[in-house]
Amino acid sequence: MRVVFILDLIATRYTANMEKKMLGKNTGSMTFKETNNPIDSGKFGLPAMETSISGGGKLLGHDVMAQATFTAEMQPDGSWLGECPNTGVIFCSEGVAKYRCNGIGNMKADGGAEFRGGASFETTSEALSELNGKYFMFTYDSDAEGNAEWNLYPCL
C-alpha cells in the first residue's frame, strides 16, 4: 500500500511539472465577428463550413487587428476539423504577420463552437518577431451570434 501511494505521488508531481512546462503564458487574446457559409466538403457526405473572421485585440502586448478565412469539415464522429492554410493576417502599427492554424472543434449546446489547435506565424516585423519559429496552442470559442474569442499560448 505504501509503495502504491509513493508511486502515485511521484506520478502526480511529474504530471503537474510536465503540464507547467508545456505551455507558456497567454501571448494574445482577440475577439472576432464570424461570417459562416456552407460549402461542399466532398468528404464522408457530411457538411463543411467556410468562416471569415475579422476583429482585434492584443498580441505580444501590441494592439492588433486580424482577418482570416478558414474551413471546417464535419467528421464521421460529429467533430469538426478546421484549417486556416496561411490565410490569416495580423495588422498592427509596428508591422504585419501572417499565420496558419489547424484545430479540432465541437458544437456547443448554445449553437456556438469550440476549437482547440495550433498555429504558426511568419513576420518580418521586429515588434512581432517573437512569433517566428514558435508553435502556439489556441482556444477558439464562438457563440450562436458569431462572436468569437481566440487565445494563444506558446509551446515551450
- Give the residue from 55, 50, 25, 57 showing the smallest Cα distance to 130: 25
Q: What's the whole-model pTM score?
A: 0.83
Pairing of strands 48-59, 28-39: antiparallel
pLDDT at residue 3 in the model: 46
Q: What would the DSSP string read from start to end of 2-14? A: HHHHHHHHHHHHH
| Architecture of the domain whose range is 24-154 | Beta Barrel (2.40)
Going residue by residue through the chain (156 aa), what tens digit of pLDDT does each one get?
A: 554 455 454 555 555 554 556 789 999 999 999 999 999 877 788 999 999 999 999 999 999 999 999 999 999 999 999 999 988 999 999 999 999 999 999 999 999 999 999 999 999 999 999 999 999 999 999 999 999 999 999 998
Give the residue extent of every domain in the chain: 24-154
Non-local CB neighbours of 1 within 8 Å, separated by 6+ positions: none
Residue 26 in grid coordinates? 497567454
pLDDT at residue 46 in the model: 93
pLDDT at residue 66 in the model: 98
Alpha carbon distance 139, 131 (integer Å)? 17
Q: Kindly report the CA angle at 126 between 64 and 154, in degrees rounded to 5? A: 65
pLDDT at residue 104 in the model: 98
Q: Is the C-alpha dihedral spanning 66, 124, 156, 73 positive or negative?
A: positive
pLDDT at residue 9 in the model: 47
pLDDT at residue 23 in the model: 86
pLDDT at residue 8 in the model: 56
